[in-house]
């Protein structure tokens, strides 16, 4: 391919430049960073994140990360702020202003207005000596030596550094709040991620058929029950509704292959005893782990020792768990 070597070289150089810049950020994390995090943690308001240009795009992502990890946040575009949106900032809010240079005209107009309202101002900037850097109450130093852009113009390394500091800020707040996976699930109820955190076995098995036979049930009854349940299996239970075995459609095929006469066979003759099972209030991801570890497609579900249904691998696929 024409230009292949130059493409690969440019890509590697971009990654190396940004990697070095991010690595250097470690040395810039200081007491001031910790003080900024502590202030947000102890405040009663939201975090208002603002910026202009590419920094505004980074601000929206930081807002999303903060909101999803337990810190209420809202985005305010710096240009819109000085044309009416300044009212977004409430009395107890903390403002984070993102700007590589810290000297853009919009920032110079916005910063005094924030300071006049007595809201704390946190700067994420590459230039501590800039207007923004000197006016802010706290500075998160996002210094980068150069942009990955060969012309030094397109914001690349600088926006990556801003994003990394925003992530560091959010994770520090998450840990201070003791934000757990259950908390995370509250903010991510949709999609596969959310379902992995809150979906339980009973949510799936309760809407399935509940096929069951007894140990002395005929093979005909077993086949009818498997077909009716549409799960490729049936539980074998005793009079106390306890699971004593399972029969799958694979067991039926093996029975037909190995026996010329099946009229005298019953469920106990072809069932697999002591099948794998799971409690109905277990997480769906736990059911997936059991299935994967044992190479099975159906898993018996029980509630307080009683048969409660079947969860199938297809249920997990349908819900996006797998």
Task: List residues forming the annotated binding site for Zn(2+).
Answer: 77
Beta strands in 38-149 (DSSP E): 47-51, 73-77, 94-98, 121-125, 138-141
Residue 115 sits at φ, ψ, to 5 deg, of -65, -35
CA dihedral 239, 240, 242, 247 (to 10 degrees): 10
Distances, alpha carbon 82 to alpha carbons 28, 77, 193, in Å? 31, 9, 38
Q: What are phi and psi of 142, to 5 degrees?
A: -100, 50
Phi, psi of 155 (to 5 degrees): -65, 115
On whether the CB atoms of residues 275 and 223 are closer than 8 A, the answer is: no
Burial 238-266 (b: 16+ CB within 10 A, else e): eeeeebbbbbbbebbeebeeeeeebeeeb
Give the distance from CA 28 to its chain's centroid. Answer: 28
Q: How far apart are the first and last CA of the chain?
A: 37
Distance CA 99, CA 65 (A): 19
Binding residues: 77
Task: For residue 322, give both structure tokens.
Answer: 């797998």
Q: What is the distance between the alpha carbons of residues 42 and 48, in angstroms, rounded to a whole number?
A: 15
């Amino acid at each position: 391919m024409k230009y292949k070597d130059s493409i690969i070289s440019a890509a590697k150089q971009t990654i190396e430049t940004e990697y070095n810049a991010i690595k250097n950020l470690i040395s810039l994390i200081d007491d001031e960073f910790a003080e900024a995090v502590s202030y947000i943690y102890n405040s009663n308001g939201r975090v208002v994140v603002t910026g202009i240009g590419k920094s505004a795009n980074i601000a929206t992502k930081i807002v999303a990360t903060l909101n999803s990890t337990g810190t209420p946040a809202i985005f305010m575009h710096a240009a819109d702020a000085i044309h009416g949106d300044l009212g977004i900032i409430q009395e107890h809010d903390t403002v984070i202003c993102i700007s590589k240079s810290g000297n853009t005209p919009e920032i110079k107009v916005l910063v005094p207005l924030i300071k006049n309202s007595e809201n704390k101002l946190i700067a994420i900037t590459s230039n501590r000596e800039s207007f923004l850097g000197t006016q802010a109450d706290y500075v998160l130093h996002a210094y980068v030596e150069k942009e990955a852009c060969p012309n030094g113009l397109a914001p690349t390394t600088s926006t990556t550094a801003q994003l990394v500091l925003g992530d560091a800020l959010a994770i520090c707040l998450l840990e201070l709040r003791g934000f757990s996976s259950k908390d995370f699930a509250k903010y991510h109820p949709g999609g596969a991620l959310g379902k992995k955190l809150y979906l339980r076995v009973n949510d799936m098995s309760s809407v399935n058929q509940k096929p069951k036979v007894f140990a002395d049930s005929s093979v005909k009854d077993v086949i009818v029950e498997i077909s009716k349940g549409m799960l490729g299996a049936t539980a074998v239970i005793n009079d106390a509704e306890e699971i004593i075995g399972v029969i799958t459609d694979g067991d039926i095929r093996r029975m037909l292959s190995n026996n010329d006469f099946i009229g005298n066979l019953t469920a106990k003759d072809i069932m697999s005893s002591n099948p794998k099972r799971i409690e109905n209030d277990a997480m769906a991801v736990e059911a997936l782990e059991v299935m994967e570890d044992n190479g099975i497609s159906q898993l018996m579900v029980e509630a307080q020792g009683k048969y409660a249904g079947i969860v199938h691998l297809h249920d997990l696929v349908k819900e996006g768990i797998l």
